[in-house]
Amino acid sequence: MVKRLFWLTVGFWLGVGVTIHATRTLRRSVERYLPPAAAARLRDLNTALDDRAAMIRARRVSRRAS
């Protein structure tokens, strides 16, 4: 039973590490090959989405308070 728990834990953290490494590698590759104009548009889109998410969270909090 201890061996199973050990290998389950090792496998989980190995999976997390591989996922993080792959994500970083993919982001670097995309940034390297993406045209500057497209990168700027994506940054603007991400900013707009973050602003929208913050607005939705604030509205949700205000509804809970009232």
- The whole-angstrom separation of Cα 51 and Cα 55 is 6
Are residues 26 and 2 part of one domain?
yes
Do 38 and 45 meet the contact criterion of CB atoms below 8 Å apart? no
- Is pTM beyond 0.85? Reply is no
CB 41 within 8 A of CB 34: no
66 residues of the chain, pLDDT tens digit each: 899 999 999 999 999 999 999 999 999 998 888 888 888 998 999 999 999 999 999 999 998 887
Q: Give yes or no: residues 2 and 23 share one domain.
A: yes
Number of domains in the chain: 2
Per-residue model confidence (pLDDT) at position 12: 97
- 29 in the same domain as 39: no
Shared domain check, 29 and 55: no
